[in-house]
Structure formats: structure tokens, C-alpha cells
């Protein structure tokens, strides 16, 4: 029995050594880059259509910036305009386009961050600079201005647009 097993193993070993070695497929780097660019453009277009549909559903009179951020101020404050390198303090509620709440200052307390410097979403840095102290606004961040390809590994999935309902409490 042991001899038969050894013979079978020997035959398998010889056979595996005789298999043709497959060469890796060479991919043209420029073609690959162009394919990835086209794929990304299609993803951005699809995400923009989802955001536009969301905005239309709620009939929000948003302003769209060159980066793709959408915002509208629905309650006007009287304070100073926020600018880069100021510290902003906000109340907020972050939701997904499906309405699920991800984060809120009711749970975590108001958030403070240095505009254009701290580690918050780039869309929040941009959006806050359209607000005055006391303003309440909706900021709709496409995924590439929010948490990108990976999400935040907690409550925001990969490649997800988010909505900030924000009130600018103060700046200094």
C-alpha cells in the first residue's frame, strides 16, 4: 500500500514539473492608466447623478462648487465669515444619502477644527468657508471630498457621499 502511494506521489510530482510555465501577461502601462481614468470618471459621474437625484428629491436650492461640493444655507447668521486658518466650532449631523445617521454632535459634542489644516473631510474645510457664524447649512460631500475609497472603517462605508447638516457656532 505504501509503495502504491509513493508511486502515485512520484507520478504527480513528475507531471507537475512538466507543466508549461505560463508567462505573466504584460499590460501596457498607458492603457492601464487610461482605463483607470475612464473608470474613475464613470464612477464620479454616477455619484454625481445620485447626489443630483437626492437634491432633487428634497428640492434643495444648492450651489455646486468646482470641486463637486454642494451646499445651501437655510438659516442665515449675522456673524463673521469663516476663512482658512481660523478655528471653527460647529454643531453637526452627518448622514448618508439613504438617511442613516452616522455621527452627530448631540452624541459627541460640538467639533472644533482649524480650517484647511486639521484632519477633517476636505469637503468640510471647503464648505465651512461659505458660512458666517450663526449660519445653518447642508453640505453634500461626494465620497472623494469625504472619506474616499475606504470610508472611515466605522460608520461610513467605502465610496460613500455624505451630508453634513451644520451650524457654525463660532470662529476665532
Which pLDDT tens digit goes with each residue over 106-132?
A: 999 999 999 999 999 999 999 999 999
What pLDDT shows up at residue 31? 83
Q: SS3 sequence, 123-155?
A: HHHHHHCCCECCCEEEEEECHHHCCCCCCCCCC
Distances (CA, A) of 50 to 15, 65, 96: 54, 17, 12
Q: What rounded mean pLDDT belongs to the chain?
A: 90
Q: What is the pLDDT of residue 24?
A: 74
Q: Domain 41-171: which CATH class?
A: alpha beta
Would you kindly state where each structural domain of the chain is located, as residue ranges?
41-171
Note the pLDDT of residue 67.
95
- The model's pLDDT over 37-91, given as tens digits with 9 standing for 90+, comes to 998 889 889 999 999 999 999 999 999 999 999 999 999 999 999 999 999 999 9
Distance CA(129)–CA(115), nearest Å, equals 8
pLDDT of residue 21: 60
Question: Which residues make Cβ contacts (< 8 Å) with residue 128, sequence separation at least 6?
Answer: 82, 88, 90, 115, 139, 166, 168
In the prediction, which pLDDT does 28 show? Answer: 85
- Alpha carbons 154 and 144: distance in angstroms, whole number: 17
- Of the pLDDT bands very low, low, confident and very high (cuts 50, 70, 90), residue 33 is confident
Amino acid at each position: 500500500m505504501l509503495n502504491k502511494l509513493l508511486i502515485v506521489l512520484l507520478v504527480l510530482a513528475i507531471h507537475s514539473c512538466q507543466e508549461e510555465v505560463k508567462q505573466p501577461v504584460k499590460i501596457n502601462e498607458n492603457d492601464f492608466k487610461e482605463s483607470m481614468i475612464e473608470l474613475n470618471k464613470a464612477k464620479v459621474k454616477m455619484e454625481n447623478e445620485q447626489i443630483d437625484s437626492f437634491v432633487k428629491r428634497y428640492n434643495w436650492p444648492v450651489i455646486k462648487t468646482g470641486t463637486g461640493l454642494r451646499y445651501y444655507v437655510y438659516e442665515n447668521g449675522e456673524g463673521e465669515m469663516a476663512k482658512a486658518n481660523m478655528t471653527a466650532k460647529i454643531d453637526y449631523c452627518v448622514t448618508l444619502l439613504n438617511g442613516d445617521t452616522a455621527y452627530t454632535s448631540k452624541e459627541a459634542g460640538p467639533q472644533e477644527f482649524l480650517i484647511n489644516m486639521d484632519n477633517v473631510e476636505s469637503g468640510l474645510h471647503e464648505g465651512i468657508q461659505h458660512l458666517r457664524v450663526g449660519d445653518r447649512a447642508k453640505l453634500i460631500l461626494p465620497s472623494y471630498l469625504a472619506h474616499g475609497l475606504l470610508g472611515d472603517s466605522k460608520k461610513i462605508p467605502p465610496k460613500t457621499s455624505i451630508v453634513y447638516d451644520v451650524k457654525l457656532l463660532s470662529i476665532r
